[in-house]
Structure 1
């Protein structure tokens, strides 16, 4: 079988990470999900224009609204994590800094996502 790597790639033993296509597809799928859910969210917020706190919490307490809101939050934080990963991998060159930032982004997006999910569930379940 032919070796299609560049001479420098052969010297360093570097090749494909075998993850680029999957990452690309996950980012596009999450973007499509967010686009659909963002349209729903904007239309819903226009419908709630001028409503008070009681009306907004009653709106979020309905499962037909709480579930898409949860999906929007999950998709947004997942998409953000994927996008930030690409930026860090492309523009941070030190391995220690790169790994530290990737861990920080992962923990931050997960933590903030869990906080948002908890908040939505608290309002939706009336706790």
Structure 2
């Protein structure tokens, strides 16, 4: 059979970039997209922190409560959380070899990232709405 081995898989399967996990290319692009989005968001976050650092509590709270500032902070938190989760997931999948530990670590990574993001979103919204 050696010389006449035929496969029912088409060359399109390889071109689409679907590896054994069926989602490698999408994961790659999500990570790159969030990295690019974080460049202006980090610069804006640094500018907000610098502006808030020289103010008293009420003035800093008013700065964070401004709608544009709140939107930038929320975008920064959500994009940063997604990017962080994706990056740490790659590290876990590459360096944790025991399957049970790998699954537990990926779940813990997702839950921790979600908890931190939810807490940060809650804080920004609470300040933004003045509650």
Q: Output the TM-score relative to the length of structure 1.
A: 0.85
The Cα RMSD (Å) is: 1.7
Determine which of 48, 51, 74 is the counterpart of 1:47.
51
Residue 99 (structure 1) aligns with: 103
Paired residues for 1:43-82 under 5 Å: 43-82=47-86
CA distance in 1, matches of 2:71, 2:113: 20
CA distance in 1, matches of 2:111, 2:119: 12
Determine which of 31, 34, 44 is the counterpart of 2:38.
34
CA distance in 1, matches of 2:20, 2:109: 24
Residue 117 (structure 2) aligns with: 113
CA distance in 1, matches of 2:58, 2:7: 68
Q: Output the TM-score relative to the length of structure 2.
A: 0.83
Q: Displaced runs of 4+ in structure 1, greater than 3 A? A: 1-4
Residue 93 (structure 2) aligns with: 89
- Give the number of equivalent residue pairs: 117
CA distance in 1, matches of 2:50, 2:88: 30
Matched residue SS, 1:48: helix
Residue 112 (structure 1) shift: 0.9
